[in-house]
Chain A
Amino acid sequence: MLEIKNLVCRYGKVTALEGISLKVPEKQLVVLVGANGAGKSTTLRAISGIVPAASGQIIFDGEDITGMAAGKILAKGIAHCPEGRRVFGQMTVLENLEIGAYLRRDPKEISEDLDRVLEQFPRLAERRKQVAGTLSGGEQQMLAIGRSMMSRPRLIMFDEPSLGLAPNIVEQTFSIIQGIREAGTTVMMVEQNAFAALDMCDYAYLLEAGSMVLEGKGEELIKNPHVREAYLGAGVHA
């Protein structure tokens, strides 16, 4: 579904990605793990058109989307759930969800999707008129996921979905992401919580300093001695 060939990205003189390649097959959950600054977020940003690619190709559904405007890429069906501040803090829950459907011009179906999201997240339905900034971290994450769904994507990219969340909320977030995948949407995820990410994924890539150093099924990477030593911290996750 998505294929990246020799993607190079630079911020000024600094090379963030030194020619990486990866594949995200349809209806799978692919995870990108790696340390801080390895280029994980940059990869997602390049795919969604926020960061320009210096060279290389990004192909989605057989179409070269390299260099397309962010809005166009979203319209093609790739949603990006960025890290950090996840929601528009001063807008209400409802407004946040509506803006997720910003590019769509089918009011009837938008309102159907809105109802469906609110049904899936009763907590958001309860607070639909509340200003999003006053929600708890977990609720904001739900809202961010709900908002991404509002564009009807076929591929959703999550950037550090567990960042800054309480452990039980992290678990909940991962199970929602699993649910999205099981419902048939392709998911690509960047995660620092390597063990959990590798455990739930179909396929994983390991990025180090802008280069792809390892790839394989989740369980293979978990067993890999290099991964165990550098990312899993031997014995922590018994």
Chain B
Amino acid sequence: MKQVFPLIALAFFATVPLWLQDQYYLHTLVVAGIFMLAAMSLNLLLGYTGQLSLGHVAFFGIGAYVSALTSLGFSLSIFGVQITHEPWPPFIGLILGALAAGLCGYLIGKLAFRVRGAYFVIVTISFAEVVRLVSLNWVELTNGPLALPGIPPLTLGFDWTGYVTLWGKAQNYYLVLVFIALAYVLIKRLVQSPYGRAMIALRENETLAVSVGISVTKYLVLAAIFSGALAGLAGGLYAHYIQIIDPMIFMFLNTVTMVIMVITGGKGTLAGPIVGGLIFGLAPVVLRNYVGPEVQWILYGVLMILIVFVLPEGIVPAIERWFNRKAKPGRKDGSAAGGKAADRETGQGGSTLALASSGKVNS
């Protein structure tokens, strides 16, 4: 059941453009999907290594700007040296955007993981603010508050297949869907690998993790690189879909949206950011149909508080637990048998564990 559920969800979402005629809703789903990707990347840091990045939008924005500038081209002079970049295909921009964001993830990781906890949060906030100010003031490169308009949409294909330019909503919808599916599989494999184990171990108990030989910095930096690159990719998708970006992309609210998606959906679960992303990506639009704009955001807030209060671990873990309880009704803990087992242990205590001395140590 648990294995097929993601496939069922994928199949369902693949059919959406076939029956959803309203282009505005489709647009909402595309944007929600892009933020879902960003939330999935945040989940890697927040959910699996336990580090709260409150500057996550920086990676998103850097991905967006790098991708946009790569495909638009630019010309600027630094210290008298004229640098001109001719436009490249958007797809290359997308990749470069992800790489640039990943590199920033590496730098932030290296710097910030020396300081942990609250300090890490502050460093990430500051990082996002610095990047925002740069995008606002480096007018020659970013056009500042005048925005970067006319970003070309993504073009897919090869010389031998012909090219498709993704102008339509449905096309972009499928593109984002494919990326979400890919990211899901990738994160799943990462989390279930020894690397993922090490990250979870760090989140659970750092001292203990160190005592079994896990290198803290290595894994936190690794998570930051992955997380940054994925957020950058989401940003690139956003830039080519919306086709215009400005420094508002670095709004703190965008980070908060990602954090909300992860926490309400269930941090540290694979499906959490997707479920949270669906709810909080669609909630504003759905609410708009029923209530005035003043009430919308209040309801949004109430919804969030309710979820956090009723399901503090998030929606996905709550559903999982409910399923497990249904699956094994009336399961006992076997505490009756426990006493005997304990006696057995005591009896064997003296002769325990000859293996320690039997082998050599492997490095």
Q: Which residues of A contact B (CB under 8 A)?
A: 27, 48, 50, 69-72, 74-77, 79-82, 84-91, 95, 98-100, 102-106, 109, 113, 116-117, 120-123, 126, 138, 142, 145, 147, 149, 151-154, 156, 171-172, 175-176, 178-180, 182-185
Contacts and interface: CB of A to CB of B under 8 A. Distances in A.
Given A75-B361, A85-B208, A104-B362, A172 B356 contact: no
B128 interface: no
Given A99-B197, A175-B350, A180-B352, A82 B208 contact: yes
25 contacts: A50-B210, A69-B215, A70-B210, A70-B211, A70-B213, A71-B215, A75-B361, A76-B361, A76-B363, A88-B204, A88-B205, A89-B204, A90-B200, A90-B204, A99-B212, A99-B214, A103-B362, A106-B362, A117-B353, A123-B342, A153-B361, A172-B345, A176-B345, A182-B350, A184-B354
B326 interface: no
Contacts of B204: 88-91
Interface of B: 194, 197-198, 200-201, 204-205, 207-215, 334, 337-338, 341-342, 344-346, 348-357, 359-363
Given A50-B211, A152-B359, A153-B361, A172 B353 contact: no
Contact of A102 (B200, B212, B361): B212
A120 B355 CA distance: 10
Given A109-B359, A176-B349, A138 B208 contact: no
Contacts of B208: 82, 85-88
Contact of B341 (A82, A126, A151): A126
Nearest to A106: B362
A120 B352 contact: yes
A85 B351 CA distance: 26
A84 to B, nearest CB: 8
B362 A153 contact: no
A178 B350 contact: yes
Contact of B363 (A27, A90, A103): A103
Residue with the greatest number of chain A CB neighbours at <10 A, chosen from B212, B338, B354: B212
A89 B205 CA distance: 9
Nearest to A83: B207
Nearest to B355: A116
B344 A122 contact: yes
A140 to B, nearest CB: 11
B346 A172 contact: yes
B355 A74 contact: no
Contacts of B356: 149, 152-154, 156, 180, 183-185
A48 B359 CA distance: 20
A142 B345 contact: yes
A190 B215 CA distance: 25
B345 A102 contact: no
B349 A178 contact: yes
Nearest to A126: B341
A147 to B, nearest CB: 7
A152 B356 CA distance: 5
Given A88-B201, A103-B363, A152-B360, A74 B213 contact: yes
Contact of A152 (B197, B338, B349, B362): B362
A153 B212 CA distance: 11
A116 B361 CA distance: 16
A176 B352 contact: yes
Contacts of A171: 346
Contact of A180 (B205, B337, B353): B353
A146 to B, nearest CB: 8
B184 to A, nearest CB: 21
Contacts of B359: 109, 113, 152
Contacts of B212: 74, 99-100, 102-103, 147, 151
B13 to A, nearest CB: 30
A103 B214 CA distance: 8
A156 B356 CA distance: 9
Contacts of A142: 345
Contact of B350 (A104, A121, A147, A179): A179
B213 A75 contact: yes
A179 B351 contact: yes
Given A50-B207, A69-B215, A103-B363, A138 B342 contact: yes
A178 B200 CA distance: 32
A184 B361 CA distance: 14
Contacts of B207: 50, 82, 84
Given A75-B363, A152-B355, A172-B342, 8 more contacts: A74-B212, A86-B208, A88-B200, A91-B204, A117-B353, A151-B213, A176-B349, A179-B350
Residue with the greatest number of chain A CB neighbours at <10 A, chosen from B194, B213, B214, B356: B356
B206 to A, nearest CB: 10
Contacts of A80: 211
Contacts of A71: 213-215
Given A70-B210, A152-B355, A185-B357, A123 B338 contact: yes
Contacts of A113: 355, 359
Contacts of A84: 207
